[in-house]
């Protein structure tokens, strides 16, 4: 190999390495983005109420699970469907609507204003929106 073509050969080898490094960085970034997306998805869908030690989760188990199901995925009682609190209509409700629903009830759901304190009702609204629906 002449010295000139050797220099050329080395140059092309270096270029090749640079390109590989660039492709590597792009792939890593893409992988990172995909993982991030999958994680946000599963956080929303997989908050485990029965295993959670939070105060809200225990309030849920005591007051709401009997109708909305252990994991808030909804339930059928005597042929009537009790809605999920994670998906569907519940996920379209505003903070205020969820608050009203828990405080005042809406037949056949009872009002909880004599069972829960104002603070507990607020906590449950946050629980439904943040833990179950993955909002803010």
Contact flag: residue 67 with ligand HEC (CB under 6 A): yes
Three-state DSSP at 86 gives: coil
Question: Considering only residues 33, 39, 66, 135, which one is a binding residue for ligand HEC as defined by CB under 6 A?
Answer: 66
d(CA 39, CA 86): 17
Radius of gyration of the chain (CA): 27
Q: 16-55 b/e with 16+ CB inside 10 Å = b? A: eeeeeeeeeeeeeeeeeeeeeeeeeeeebeebebeeeeee
Question: Is 40 in contact with 134 (CB distance < 8 Å)?
Answer: yes
Contact flag: residue 49 with ligand HEC (CB under 6 A): no
CB of 45: closest distance to ligand HEC in angstroms? 17
Question: Considering only residues 76, 78, 89, 119, which one is a binding residue for ligand HEC as defined by CB under 6 A?
Answer: 89
- How many chain residues bind ligand HEC (CB under 6 A)? 21
Per-residue binding string, ligand HEC, 100-129, x by CB under 6 A, is -xx---x-xxx-x-----------x---x-
Determine the interface stretch with ligand HEC among 11-19, 32-40, 41-49, 94-102 (rule: CB under 6 A). 94-102
- Count helices and strands in the chain by DSSP H and E runs: 6, 2
Interaction site with ligand HEC (CB under 6 A): 63-64, 66-68, 82-83, 85, 89-90, 93, 98, 101-102, 106, 108-110, 112, 124, 128
């Amino acid at each position: 190999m002449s010295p000139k073509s050797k220099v050329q050969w080395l140059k092309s080898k270096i270029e090749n390495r640079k390109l590989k490094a660039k492709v590597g960085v792009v792939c890593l970034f893409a992988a990172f983005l995909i993982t991030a997306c999958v994680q946000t998805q599963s956080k929303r869908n997989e908050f485990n109420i029965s295993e959670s030690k939070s105060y809200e989760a225990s309030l849920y188990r005591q007051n709401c699970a009997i109708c909305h199901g252990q994991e808030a995925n909804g339930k059928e009682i005597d042929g009537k469907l009790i809605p999920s609190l994670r998906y569907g209509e519940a996920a379209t409700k505003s903070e205020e609507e969820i608050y009203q629903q828990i405080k005042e009830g809406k037949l056949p759901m009872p009002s909880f204003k004599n069972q829960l304190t104002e603070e507990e009702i607020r906590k449950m609204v946050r629980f439904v929106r943040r833990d179950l629906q993955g909002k803010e």
